[in-house]
């Protein structure tokens, strides 16, 4: 090789190395998935420091000595129940006390997460709680990436990115790095909604089935796809025309997804019935933690009356429902979400109102309303506004961890669960 040619080759190699270094040290030039991954890791590091600080201040508790380390601290609460489900399985008979009252047991915790934890533990020989924590962390990252792709169906790249960032720093986002099933369910739920938005109904089926086996979100999702199908049929009926072959095929696929979603929502209660012989095994177990039988909508009424009184309580509850309905139907930022995401938020809120016993765990159970993070990003394109949201969410995460994750017994007994 001649000397001029060799010099040119060296210059070319130097320029390529310089460009590669520029990309490496300039996050704005990274691919979207690398940027979001970096944000997610940074958010989890922030949560790590908050958890560590709360752990240092933790007093004596039902699980371990005071001032535990980070890894011990994040495995308390329901993490121990998922460990029990993974290591011991589910009881064939509901445990009861001397009076025949059902006691707390593993049937309240859906099986996909502990089964994956058990499989990973057996494959690599690590403790179950460690494998569950790894699954939660990885699933949380996958959820944020899929959520960004979902948000792109309704927003620009920049706004969708900020919406995904808001999910990563939610006030309850610390739950994405502890051995809880929330992050796994969030990933599967986002994938299901993305497939529905893209009208890939058959592709949604495996995600819908797995989501219904990870957390109790199957009922509201079945309602979403069912209502969307009814709306499509109503539009055809009002137009007084027959569907084209392509439309008919799409409707049949949509119908198949609806049937599967509704069946998947009933799968876990049905399995509990089959294993224990008690048709109410799942609901009887779930209601142990609330101390009362399941009566739809009644807990919210009782809570409103108990906190605010018989006059102001129902009024406040009515105002809350009216404001929520207005926001989903009329608020400009929420309307940008599209029909599917707004309908999901409405159905999930309706599900919570019907079946949830309002308590401090309610904050965590609001995580499936993640599409509202995109609505938050739609409110303003100002960088100052969006960074303020990140700051406020981060501060509220400190409040959530210190107030609810750190265990403290109440004066009258019991505690505030996260």
Give the pLDDT of residue 10.
Answer: 58
CA dihedral 220, 221, 223, 226 (to 10 degrees): 180
Average pLDDT over residues 22-37: 83
Number of continuous H segments (helices) and E segments (strands) in the chain: 18, 0
Asked if residue 244 has pLDDT above 60, the reply is: yes
Asked if residue 8 has pLDDT above 70, the reply is: no
Number of domains observed in the structure of the chain: 2
Q: How confident is residue 173, by pLDDT bands cut at 50, 70 and 90?
A: very high
pLDDT by residue (tens digit) across 303-332? 999 999 999 999 999 999 999 999 999 999
Q: Which domain holds residue 3?
A: 1-30
Give the pLDDT of residue 100.
Answer: 86
Using CB atoms within 10 Å of the CB of residue 398, give its burial: 0 to 12 exposed, 13 to 18 middle, 19+ buried.
middle
Tell me, yes or no, whether 130 and 15 share the same domain.
Answer: no
Q: Quick check: is 367 in a domain? A: no
Using CB atoms within 10 Å of the CB of residue 204, give its burial: 0 to 12 exposed, 13 to 18 middle, 19+ buried.
buried
C-alpha span between 208 and 222 (Å, rounded) = 9
Tell me, yes or no, whether 26 and 42 share the same domain.
Answer: no
Tell me, yes or no, whether 122 and 171 share the same domain.
Answer: yes
Q: What does the angle CA 294 – CA 298 – CA 302 come to, to the nearest 5 degrees?
A: 120
Q: Quick check: is 340 in a domain? A: no
C-alpha span between 240 and 35 (Å, rounded) = 49
Beta strands in 118-168 (DSSP E): none
pLDDT by residue (tens digit) across 270-310? 999 999 999 999 999 999 988 777 788 999 999 999 999 99
Q: Quick check: is 262 in a domain? A: yes
Tell me, yes or no, whether 73 and 148 share the same domain.
Answer: yes
Average pLDDT over residues 20-48: 87
Tell me, yes or no, whether 16 and 42 share the same domain.
Answer: no
Tell me, yes or no, whether 26 and 117 share the same domain.
Answer: no
Q: Quick check: is 130 in a domain? A: yes
Tell me, yes or no, whether 4 and 139 share the same domain.
Answer: no
Tell me, yes or no, whether 113 and 19 share the same domain.
Answer: no
Q: How confident is residue 90, by pLDDT bands cut at 50, 70 and 90?
A: very high
Q: Quick check: is 132 in a domain? A: yes
* Largest interatomic CA distance in the chain: 95
C-alpha span between 73 and 177 (Å, rounded) = 12
Q: Quick check: is 300 in a domain? A: no
Give the pLDDT of residue 61.
Answer: 92
C-alpha span between 377 and 334 (Å, rounded) = 10
Over pLDDT 70: what percentage of the chain? 94
HSE toward the beta carbon, residue 23, CA cutoff 13 A: 10
Average pLDDT over residues 207-234: 97
Give the pLDDT of residue 293.
Answer: 75
Give the pLDDT of residue 198.
Answer: 98
Q: For all residues of the chain together, what is the average pLDDT?
A: 93
pLDDT by residue (tens digit) across 136-168? 999 999 999 999 999 999 999 999 999 999 999
Tell me, yes or no, whether 137 and 103 share the same domain.
Answer: yes
Beta strands in 28-176 (DSSP E): none
- Higher per-residue pLDDT: 297 or 19: 297
Residue matched to tokens 């969307």: 228
Give the pLDDT of residue 365.
Answer: 96
Asked if residue 89 has pLDDT above 80, the reply is: yes
- Element at 39 (helix H, strand E): helix 32-57
- Element at 255 (helix H, strand E): helix 245-276
Give the pLDDT of residue 342.
Answer: 97
Give the pLDDT of residue 21.
Answer: 54
pLDDT by residue (tens digit) across 53-81? 999 999 999 999 999 999 999 999 999 99
C-alpha span between 226 and 221 (Å, rounded) = 8
Contact (Cβ atoms closer than 8 angstroms) between residue 161 and residue 57: no
Q: Quick check: is 349 in a domain? A: no
C-alpha span between 54 and 51 (Å, rounded) = 5
Tell me, yes or no, whether 203 and 69 share the same domain.
Answer: yes
Tell me, yes or no, whether 148 and 281 share the same domain.
Answer: yes
Tell me, yes or no, whether 275 and 210 share the same domain.
Answer: yes
Asked if residue 29 has pLDDT above 90, the reply is: no
Q: Quick check: is 98 in a domain? A: yes
């Amino acid at each position: 090789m001649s000397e001029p040619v060799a010099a040119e080759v060296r210059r070319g190699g130097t320029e390529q190395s310089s460009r590669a270094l520029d990309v490496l040290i300039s996050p704005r030039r990274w691919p979207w998935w690398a940027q979001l991954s970096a944000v997610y890791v940074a958010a989890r590091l922030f949560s790590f420091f908050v958890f560590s600080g709360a752990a240092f201040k933790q007093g004596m508790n039902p699980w371990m000595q005071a001032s535990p380390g980070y890894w011990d601290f994040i495995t308390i609460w329901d993490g121990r129940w998922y460990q029990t489900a993974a290591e011991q399985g589910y009881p064939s008979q509901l445990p009861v006390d001397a009076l025949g009252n059902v006691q707390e047991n593993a049937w309240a915790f859906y099986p996909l997460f502990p089964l994956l934890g058990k499989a990973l533990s057996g494959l690599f020989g690590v403790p179950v709680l460690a494998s569950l924590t790894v699954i939660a962390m990885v699933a949380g990252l996958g959820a944020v990436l899929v959520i960004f792709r979902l948000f792109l169906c309704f927003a620009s790249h920049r706004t969708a990115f900020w919406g995904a960032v808001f999910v990563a720093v939610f006030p309850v986002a610390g739950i994405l790095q502890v051995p809880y099933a929330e992050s796994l369910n969030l990933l599967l739920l986002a994938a299901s909604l993305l497939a529905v938005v893209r009208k890939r109904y058959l592709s949604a089926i495996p995600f819908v089935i797995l989501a219904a086996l990870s957390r109790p979100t199957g009922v509201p999702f079945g309602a979403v796809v069912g209502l969307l199908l009814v709306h499509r049929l109503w539009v055809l009926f009002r137009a007084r025309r027959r569907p084209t072959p392509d439309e008919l095929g799409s409707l049949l696929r949509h119908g198949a997804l609806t049937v599967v979603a509704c069946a998947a929502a009933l799968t876990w209660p049905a399995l509990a019935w089959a294993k224990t012989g008690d048709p109410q095994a799942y609901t009887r177990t779930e209601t142990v933690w609330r101390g009362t039988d399941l009566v739809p909508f009644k807990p919210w009424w009782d809570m409103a009356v108990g906190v605010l009184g018989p006059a102001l309580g129902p009024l406040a509850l009515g105002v809350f429902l009216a404001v929520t309905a207005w926001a989903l139907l009329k608020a400009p930022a929420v309307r940008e979400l599209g029909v599917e995401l707004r309908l999901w938020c409405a159905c999930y809120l309706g599900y919570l109102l019907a079946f949830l016993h309002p308590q401090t765990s309610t904050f965590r159970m609001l995580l499936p309303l993640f599409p509202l993070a995109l609505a938050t990003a739609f409110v303003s394109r100002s960088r100052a506004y969006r960074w303020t949201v990140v700051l406020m969410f981060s501060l509220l995460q400190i409040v959530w961890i210190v107030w609810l994750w750190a265990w403290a017994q109440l004066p009258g007994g019991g505690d505030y669960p996260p």
